[in-house]
């Protein structure tokens, strides 16, 4: 090798750049590889919205609505947050014996429900937000669709407003 090339490779500026590039490469490797090695890799944050009509809301106990399909074997939906928007029309809902808008994986409730009292029975537009996630047995949560239902003893009646529910979630590969 000639002296000129050796001098360029070992110059302080080039050496500093090489060290920075190595540090960046090691950081990227750690950030991308380590979560996968420990089974913590989830997909990107996804979002979906569903509009529930008055007819759907009045029959939500008997006919729950699917928000996200089952993700497949050895996978689970991990709910991050939910936003529920009630659009009042002309008549508020009669809640009767209660019940809430319940998010479930299959039949397992996975978070704090949207309270129907103070939401669907109001004569103005309403918003509720919820976050968090409750656990359960793997067999009860794995490969289950995300559903919305009325968890009360009876259907709601009379109302003609709509509800838009938006959820943010990831799909996690189980080990």
Measure Cα distances from 115 to 67, 78, 84, 100, 127 in Å.
Answer: 18, 21, 10, 5, 11
Structure confidence by residue, pLDDT tens digits, 10-30: 566 666 666 666 766 665 555
- Say yes or no: 24 and 78 in one domain: no
Model confidence over 47-70: pLDDT tens digits?
999 999 999 999 999 999 999 999
Domain coverage including residue 122: 46-173
pLDDT at 27: 58
Length reported for the chain: 175
CATH of the domain at 156: 2.60.120
Helix (H, G, I), strand (E, B) or coil at 65: strand
Which pTM does this prediction carry? 0.73
**What SS3 string covers 112-144?**
CCEECCCCCCCCCCEEEEEECCCCCCHHHHCCC
Backbone angles phi, psi at 3, to 5 degrees: -65, -30
pLDDT score, position 28: 56
131 shares its domain with 93 = yes
Q: How far is it, in rounded angstroms, from Cα 116 to Cα 99?
A: 6
Residue whose pair of structure tokens reads 């050895």 in the numeric block: 74
Give the chain's domain count.
2
Q: What is the pLDDT of residues 61-114, one digit of tens each?
A: 999 999 999 999 999 999 999 999 999 999 999 998 888 999 999 888 887 889
Q: Check residue 26 and give its pLDDT.
A: 60
């Amino acid at each position: 090798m000639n002296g000129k090339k050796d001098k360029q490779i070992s110059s302080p500026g080039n050496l500093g750049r090489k060290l920075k590039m190595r540090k960046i490469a090691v950081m990227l490797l750690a950030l991308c590889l380590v979560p996968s090695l420990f089974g913590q890799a989830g997909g990107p944050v996804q979002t979906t919205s569903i509009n529930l009509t008055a007819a759907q809301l009045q029959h939500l106990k008997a006919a729950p609505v699917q928000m996200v399909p089952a993700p497949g074997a050895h996978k689970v939906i991990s709910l991050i947050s939910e936003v529920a928007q009630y659009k009042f029309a002309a008549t508020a809902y009669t809640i009767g014996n209660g019940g809430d808008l319940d998010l479930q994986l299959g039949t397992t409730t996975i978070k704090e429900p949207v309270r129907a009292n103070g939401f669907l029975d109001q004569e103005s537009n309403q918003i509720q937000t919820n976050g968090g996630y409750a656990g359960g047995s793997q067999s009860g949560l794995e490969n289950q669709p995300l559903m919305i239902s009325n968890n009360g003893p009876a259907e709601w009646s009379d109302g003609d407003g709509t509800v838009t529910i938006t959820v943010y979630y990831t799909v996690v590969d189980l080990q």
